[in-house]
Structure 1
Amino acid sequence: MEIAGFALWQVGIALVATFASAYVRGLAGFGLAILLVPVLALALKPVEAVLIANVLGLTIGLTEIRHLIRTAEKSAFHIAGIVILTTAPGMAVLAITPAPVARFLIALVALSAFIAVLLPPRAPEMPGRINTLLTGVASGLLTGFAGMPGPPVVPYYVGRAIPREVAKASMVLVFTAASSAGIASGVALGTMHWRLLLLALALFPVVLVGNALGRRALGKISDRAWRIFAAVVLGAASFAALLKLI
């Protein structure tokens, strides 16, 4: 038996991974793609995992768009614009990369974010233009190749001493823009198929529930605990993906 062309075991993995990653997103402000793509890429083709994560990221982001625009730091709008311009090249590289190589590189992407978050916190002031530009370019390329705009963006915000609500809204705004760019690139490159959209839409209620539960838990932890949780999430995702490949 299949659902939208996917075997039941593939759908089952997608359901569990989606709920867990959505819960983390609600709590940490990120994690949907960083957690979901490495797991999905083990059950589906990497490009399919990336596109499904993009659809889910866009749909959940649109439900919060007013809050994001009102709360996010100004830099988030700059980074989002750069991400939109640089996503397509990353997806073009993914389309021609062998699946085993792509899975390994995606796992390394998650690991790099974990290491970056462990670095000592920086001053709360917004980084300079070059830092912001490089963050946007790297995030866009990784959005296309790995469906993960987070590795450059998470350290940019979580690594600074700014209020967690501002950091979270800024990250989610960038991720929402990245998801829209990823979908558009997939359509342009001919890798976005209807069955991927159908599976993503079927998973969306799971994202809503997981995200809501995560947001409820967010109000019960301190800023320090939130930053520690962010590091643990990144570390667990990257090491799990690497162990699975080994």
Structure 2
Amino acid sequence: MELVAGYALVQLVAALFAAFGSAFVRGLTGFGMAILLVPILALALDPVEAVLLANFLSVFIGLSEIRRLIRNAERTAWTIAGIVVVTTPMGLVALAQTPPGIARLAIALIAFSAFLAILLPRRAEGLPGRATTSGVGLLSGLMTGYAGMPGPPVVPYYVGRDLPREIAKASMMLIFTIAAAAGLGSGAAMGLLDWRLSLLAVLLFPAVLLGNMLGNKASGRIGDRTWRIIVGLVLGGAALAAVVRLF
């Protein structure tokens, strides 16, 4: 049964719950929306649609708090975001040429890679070298296009350093917002963007807004060490769930 913009009831319900839950995690940790959202959406929608829908929602929620993100983000966020804009189309081209089953496996493995990276020892607060920052931007752009997930390289880059939590969160969120916009622009330019997705995104956005607000409130009530533990648990849970869903 098709209800809204050609999408069936089961697709809409899955997207609604995934949007709310992933937005709550985003508000709590500063990341996780795409890592949690895309693997779930990819089970109900075509993988390309799942990636682009997640991009729509990421842009919407990012724009709702863009002033705070710009004010608090580390300057490396702009460097990484610029590289992401350039490299995102290459990832999207690869996704469009990949069979759906293989694409779902790749998306699950990308989610798992973020969990492994966060287990690495924490580094000092000083800025990483240009090569490291550029590499993070390159990988993040490719993953944005292919899986709608700029987070796997970005999260360890910021959370793995002794940065104030607000700076780490704002930096990640700013990158993710710009990355999502780049993904939508690339999809439109390549003729892959079904504009029914924009309608679905508008319908889902209230759930995203509510989930993000509740996550932000919860984040203000926990200490930094607890926050970092939650970051690791979220990444691990998302990776495990994404792999389990394949079977």
The verdict on a shared fold, with TM-score over 0.5 as the criterion, is yes
* Deviation >2 Å, runs of 4+: none
- CA–CA distance in 2 between the matches of 1:220 and 1:49? 32
Aligned residues: 246
- Taking the TM superposition and a 5 Å limit, the aligned residue runs for 1:97-176 are 97-176=98-177
| Structure 1 partner of 2:53 | 52
Instruction: Write the letter of the residue equivalent to 2:210.
Output: V
- CA–CA distance in 2 between the matches of 1:20 and 1:126? 32
| Structure 1 partner of 2:44 | 43
| Structure 2 partner of 1:184 | 185
| Structure 1 partner of 2:17 | 16
| Structure 2 partner of 1:204 | 205
- CA–CA distance in 2 between the matches of 1:31 and 1:214? 12
Offset of residue 170 of structure 1: 0.2
- CA–CA distance in 2 between the matches of 1:241 and 1:68? 29
Instruction: Write the letter of the residue equivalent to 1:35.
Output: L
Instruction: Write the letter of the residue equivalent to 1:66.
Output: R
- CA–CA distance in 1 between the matches of 2:139 and 2:192? 22
TM-score, normalised on structure 2?
0.99
Offset of residue 232 of structure 1: 0.6
Offset of residue 244 of structure 1: 1.0
Q: Secondary structure at the match of 2:221?
A: coil
Q: Aligned-residue CA RMSD in angstroms?
A: 0.6
- Taking the TM superposition and a 5 Å limit, the aligned residue runs for 1:67-86 are 67-86=68-87
- CA–CA distance in 2 between the matches of 1:64 and 1:125? 27
- Taking the TM superposition and a 5 Å limit, the aligned residue runs for 1:61-72 are 61-72=62-73
Task: Please list the CA deviations of residues 131-150 of structure 1 after superposition, one character each: whole Å capped at 9, or x if unmatched.
Answer: 00000000000000000000
Q: Structure 1 unaligned segments of length 5 or more: list them.
A: none
- CA–CA distance in 2 between the matches of 1:78 and 1:244? 35
Instruction: Write the letter of the residue equivalent to 1:178.
Output: A
Instruction: Write the letter of the residue equivalent to 1:136.
Output: G
Offset of residue 201 of structure 1: 1.0
- CA–CA distance in 1 between the matches of 2:103 and 2:66? 31
- CA–CA distance in 2 between the matches of 1:132 and 1:77? 10
| Structure 2 partner of 1:194 | 195
- CA–CA distance in 2 between the matches of 1:194 and 1:71? 33
- CA–CA distance in 1 between the matches of 2:89 and 2:67? 27
Task: Please list the CA deviations of residues 160-199 of structure 1 after superposition, one character each: whole Å capped at 9, or x if unmatched.
Answer: 0110100000000000000000000110111111111111
TM-score, normalised on structure 1?
0.99
- CA–CA distance in 1 between the matches of 2:143 and 2:15? 21
| Structure 1 partner of 2:230 | 229
- CA–CA distance in 2 between the matches of 1:131 and 1:194? 36
- CA–CA distance in 2 between the matches of 1:56 and 1:230? 21
- CA–CA distance in 2 between the matches of 1:197 and 1:92? 21
- CA–CA distance in 2 between the matches of 1:201 and 1:184? 18
Instruction: Write the letter of the residue equivalent to 2:193.
Output: M
- CA–CA distance in 1 between the matches of 2:127 and 2:230? 23
Instruction: Write the letter of the residue equivalent to 2:198.
Output: L
- CA–CA distance in 1 between the matches of 2:165 and 2:101? 36
Task: Please list the CA deviations of residues 184-243 of structure 1 after superposition, one character each: whole Å capped at 9, or x if unmatched.
Answer: 011011111111111111101110000000000001101111111011111111111101
- CA–CA distance in 1 between the matches of 2:210 and 2:30? 15
- CA–CA distance in 1 between the matches of 2:239 and 2:99? 20
Identity within the alignment, %: 62
Task: Please list the CA deviations of residues 5-44 of structure 1 after superposition, one character each: whole Å capped at 9, or x if unmatched.
Answer: 1100010000011100000000000011000000000111
